[in-house]
Amino acid sequence: MGYEVKSLDYYVSDREEVRKLLLLAALAGRIMLRSGAETYRVEDTVERLCKSRKDIRYADAFATPTGIFISLEYRSEMMAYLIRVKSIRTDLNRINLVNEFSRKFVNSNMSIDKGIEHLRYINQINIYNRWGKSIFGSLACAFFSMLFGGVFVDFISSFMVSLIILTVISGIHRYKTPPFLSNFIGATLAAVLSILSIYLGLGKNIDIIIIGSIMSMVPGVAITNAMRDTMSGDLVSGLSRGMEAIFSALAIAFGVGMVLNIYFKGLIP
């Protein structure tokens, strides 16, 4: 990622140290992948971290959105490690921090224990709390509805609807709901609450309120990463992220469509 390796004169002392280096690289890769980094960046970081100590002659990594494989060679002995990543939650700050950490680790004689400690610390950082994120996300949706030509009352109701959706989604995240299910629940809520806001006289244009409210769930991250992965030759990751984008979009469309269908045609047609 554009950082030059100055001199590679940092050595590892023994086999135990190499094992720890492998663990450190695995931890770094895991944090990045779970925060929604592109797979080529994960592979690159893991490889650089492994090769930063001079005795390691060969190191290679293969990452997909659901797991990482790492192998390295130390004094004619092969070591391998496999990490399974289950849930991805976009956290751009952690990607940035791990990126900075790896640049620092590669270009210095930082001890491996200290590195692992630092990574564990990065893994716990949440720069914005849950409420801050929800409020800013709902403001984003509300301003987006203004972009689509909404009036002030649409801004208010779009904000309220999105705030409820984001709170519910981050609440059910604890139960490890699959992303498609939480998107479906969010979209259903968006449609129900938008209809409700029209009934209560809070909003004016139902289309604009719904469009604004579903913007916090659209698969923009998946589309971006799918294309960037495909471009760097990670076809498996590109395909799986593309499928993720399609299924998320379908879940949202289905959720909204179901509610609107009932609203327009009644439960019993």
Q: Summarize as ranges the residues that interact with other proteins (CB under 8 A).
A: 1-3, 36-38, 41, 90-97, 99, 103, 126-128, 132-133, 136-141, 143-144, 146-148, 166, 207, 210-211, 214-216, 218-221, 223-228, 230-232, 245, 249, 252-253, 256-257, 260-261, 264-265
Cβ proximity to other proteins, 2 vs 201, nearer residue: 2
180 closest CA partner among 238, 255, 237, 259: 255
Q: Name the nearest CA neighbour of 56 among 18, 26, 109, 5.
A: 18
Instruction: Pick between residue 56 and residue 141 the one whose CB is nearest to other proteins.
Output: 141
Q: How far is the CB of 24 from other proteins (least distance, A)?
A: 20
Cβ–Cβ < 8 Å for 235, 220: no
Beta bridge partners of 67: 64, 84
Q: Residue 74 Cβ, how far from other proteins at the closest point, in Å?
A: 27
Kindly tell me which of 90 and 123 has the beta carbon lying closer to other proteins: 90
Measured from the CB atom, is 157 or 225 closer to other proteins?
Answer: 225
DSSP 66-119: TEEEEEEEETTEEEEEEEE-------HHHHHHHHHHHHHHHTS---HHHHHHHH
Q: Which CB sits closer to other proteins, 22 or 61?
A: 61
Residue 192: count of CB within 10 angstroms of its CB:
18
Report the b/e string of 98-127 with b at 16+ CB within 10 A. bbebbbebbbeebebeebbebbeebbeeee
Residues 6+ apart with CB under 8 A from 240: 64, 65, 66
- CB of 211: closest distance to other proteins in angstroms? 5
CB of 123 to other proteins, least distance (A): 13
CB of 228 to other proteins, least distance (A): 5
At its nearest, how many Å lie between other proteins and the CB of residue 261? 5
As a whole number of angstroms, the distance between CA 264 and CA 269 comes to 10
- Closer CB to other proteins, 18 or 158, in the complex: 158
Q: How many CB atoms lie within 10 A of CB 80?
A: 10
